[in-house]
Copies of this chain bind each other. A is one copy, B any other.
Amino acid sequence: MTADNEKKGASRRAFLKGAVAAGGAVAGAGMARAAGPDPLITEVQEWASGLGEGVDATPYGMPIRFEGDVIRRNVEWLTADTISSINFTPIHALDGTITPQGCAFERHHSGAIELKKDDYRLMINGLVDKPLVFTYEDLERFPRENHVYFCECAANTGMEWAGAQLNGAQFTHGMIHNMEYSGVSLRTLLTEAGLEAAGDLSDKWVYVEGADASSNGRSIPMDKALDDVLIAFKANGEALRKEHGYPVRLVVPGWEGNMWIKWLRRIEVTNQAVESREETSKYTDTLADGTSRKWTWVMDAKSVVTSPSPQSPIKHGPGPLVITGLAWSGHGAITRVDVSTDGGKNWQQARLAAEGQSKALSRFYLEIEWDGKEMLLQSRAHDETGYVQPTKNALRDVRGENSIYHNNCIQTWWVKENGEAENVEVS
């Protein structure tokens, strides 16, 4: 149906300009075809000739069956067991910035537990004036905040250290989601417990742990704990899903997802980092010489083209093409994204759909006239600190190839003439 509209070399922008300036004939120049005989247009369609489904059918709606492939996916060989594994966000199929909870990546260390609000308790203890235990209803009585933040696993894109591996943005970059959280500031609860007993706060920490068997404990410096950390109970307006830590999780804006403790049960004020398993043998970055970078909490600026990409090929011929993707930074707002179609030789500035928000996903678009030739598609994020997302090799020069975590390199998709795309590396 669209074949005769895809005249090679016809530029939509040029067409628009011509139409506005001269009001001339425009047949066949755009992407749509002229209205005319089409069984879909001239006959009463099946869906317009009867009644649809009533409102009682959908007390809680699910995606339509035609979108059955827009789901989280795990990678069987990646972990020993699905109990301690990852389910990736289908970012290749999403647009905008909000991630619905239903398809937002999940990562657990001992499985997603089911914990009732009535059974829920949160203890604050350690170097506080008064150790306290909060019920869920107690938490609802403190002043609440709302913020949109991204949550990215430290291991997102981690397979890329060893070269182009998993084929698809969902798998290379899908350990990320972006939601509007409602909850209570951790600062509020720490103040409630009292921090006089802790003395000088500048060298104090909080140790946070979950109610699941792994407990997944992590140490957080007090200045971050008193800054923007949230005790969240809603995401995108509704209760956290079981797999996202129902009923309460920690939100640690801009910092690696492993610290966003789910099923949060305890916060201990300490005078040093606990150096738990999750921050020593795991979630530290092994360098080329075998030593490790310590305390690499912040997720550096990063971006990825989500479409076209291996799971979202170009399905049309040459002509107008929308390139789109996501960019984010744990250091603040995204200020600019560049896109290259030739593997980083030349760059064009993409359009941000909205002004960058601190520690939240930004959506970018670049509209091009695709000539039908192969492309080496890349994106490059800039954040408010002036930091620019590095190439994979620049990152390897500094960090070696032994790491799993904190790979924020520029990603390359080889888009072929037939519109299909592959994960590749450029030298």
Contacts and interface: CB of A to CB of B under 8 A. Distances in A.
Interface of A: 1-2, 5, 12, 16, 19-20, 23, 25-27, 30-36, 38, 40-41, 45, 47-64, 66-67, 70-74, 81-83, 85-87, 93-104, 106-108, 110-117, 119, 121, 123-125, 129-135, 137-138, 140-146, 180-182, 191-192, 194, 196-197, 211-213, 215, 233-234, 236-239, 241-243, 246, 263, 265, 315-316, 319-322, 324, 351, 353-354, 363, 365, 367
A102 B20 CA distance: 42
Contacts of A1: 135
A94 to B, nearest CB: 4
A99 B143 CA distance: 21
A45 B132 CA distance: 19
Contacts of A66: 116-117, 246
Contacts of A241: 61-64
A355 B322 CA distance: 31
A133 B38 CA distance: 10
Nearest to A140: B322
Contact of A123 (B41, B117, B142): B41
Contacts of A41: 121, 123, 133
Contacts of A45: 119, 211
A230 B135 CA distance: 44
Contact of A52 (B40, B70, B111): B111
Contact of A146 (B5, B97, B103, B110): B97
A219 B275 CA distance: 65
Contacts of A322: 140-144
Nearest to A110: B51
Contacts of A135: 1-2, 32
Nearest to A94: B237
A100 B72 CA distance: 17
B137 A316 contact: yes
Contacts of A243: 53, 55, 58, 61
Nearest to A89: B237
Given A51-B110, A132-B30, A103 B60 contact: yes
A341 to B, nearest CB: 16
B59 A119 contact: no
Nearest to A236: B98
A23 B238 contact: no
A58 B72 contact: yes
B2 A137 contact: yes
24 contacts: A16-B191, A19-B192, A32-B134, A35-B124, A36-B133, A41-B133, A47-B263, A48-B265, A51-B213, A52-B213, A53-B112, A54-B112, A55-B72, A55-B106, A55-B108, A56-B82, A58-B72, A70-B238, A70-B239, A95-B233, A96-B237, A100-B238, A137-B316, A146-B353
Contacts of A316: 137, 141
A14 to B, nearest CB: 13
A324 B140 CA distance: 11
Contacts of A114: 47, 52-53, 64
Contacts of A132: 30, 32-35
A179 B80 CA distance: 38
A45 B363 CA distance: 42
Contact of A131 (B35, B70, B102): B35
Nearest to A24: B129
Contacts of A211: 45, 47-48
